[in-house]
């Protein structure tokens, strides 16, 4: 199946947080609090997916208040402190009544591999760790934290709105 056909089938996009929404760097304050840098345009991209009826969520292995705060601002569901990302992903798609084939996962490192290997559309950011590159159907041009989420959302929107190819594919 072509990547275009895979995109048109998507009903749910799950994202890792660190390295996808962020540049995978962390600012640590002297009191131990952490801060990260995100790309503000990602919010508009997520709005586009909502307008298309595509569900979204963040699935993160870490438990960090900064992730919750950003997710709340973006109006995206957030599940943190996941020891088993795939089990969490499968639980979400079961709740949504969709299949793994209708799911995209966006990751950047080996802790995302179990999800990337099971979904219909595995996506990685351009600066993803080299160990996971071979598992991606799509790799962004933009690095994580610099608009990769927006690029993915724009790409999905454009693919969903593009007319079907005359070769008979729908």
pTM: 0.93
Q: What percentage of residues in the chain have a pLDDT greater than 70?
A: 95
Q: What percentage of residues in the chain have a pLDDT greater than 90?
A: 89
Please, what is the average pLDDT of the chain? 93
Q: What is the dihedral of CA 119, 155, 92, 20, to 10 degrees?
A: 90
pLDDT digits (tens, 9 = 90+) for 33-65: 999 999 999 999 999 999 999 999 999 998 999
- What is the residue extent of each domain of the chain? 3-161
Rg over alpha carbons for the chain, rounded to the nearest Å, is 15
CATH architecture of 3-161: 3-Layer(aba) Sandwich (3.40)
pLDDT digits (tens, 9 = 90+) for 128-168: 999 999 999 999 999 999 999 999 999 999 998 876 554 44
Specify the pLDDT at position 3.
84
Vertex 153: Cα angle to 116 and 66 (nearest 5): 75
Sheet of 55-59: strands edge to edge? 77-79, 55-59, 12-15, 103-107, 121-124, 138-139
């Amino acid at each position: 199946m072509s990547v275009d056909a895979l995109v048109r089938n998507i009903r749910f996009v799950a994202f890792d947080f660190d390295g996808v929404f962020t540049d995978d760097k962390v600012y640590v304050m002297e009191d131990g609090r952490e801060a990260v840098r995100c790309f503000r345009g990602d919010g508009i991209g997520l709005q586009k997916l909502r307008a298309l009826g595509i569900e979204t969520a963040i699935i993160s292995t870490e438990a960090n208040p900064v992730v919750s705060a950003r997710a709340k601002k973006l109006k995206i569901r957030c599940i943190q402190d996941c020891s088993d990302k795939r089990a969490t992903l499968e639980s979400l798609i079961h709740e949504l009544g969709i299949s793994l084939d209708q799911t995209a996962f966006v990751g950047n490192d080996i802790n995302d591999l179990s999800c990337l290997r099971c979904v219909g559309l595995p996506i990685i950011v351009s600066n993803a760790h080299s160990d996971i590159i071979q598992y991606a159907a799509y790799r962004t041009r933009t690095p994580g934290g610099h608009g990769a989420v927006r690029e993915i959302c724009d790409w999905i929107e454009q693919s969903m709105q593009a007319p079907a190819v005359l070769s008979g594919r729908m």
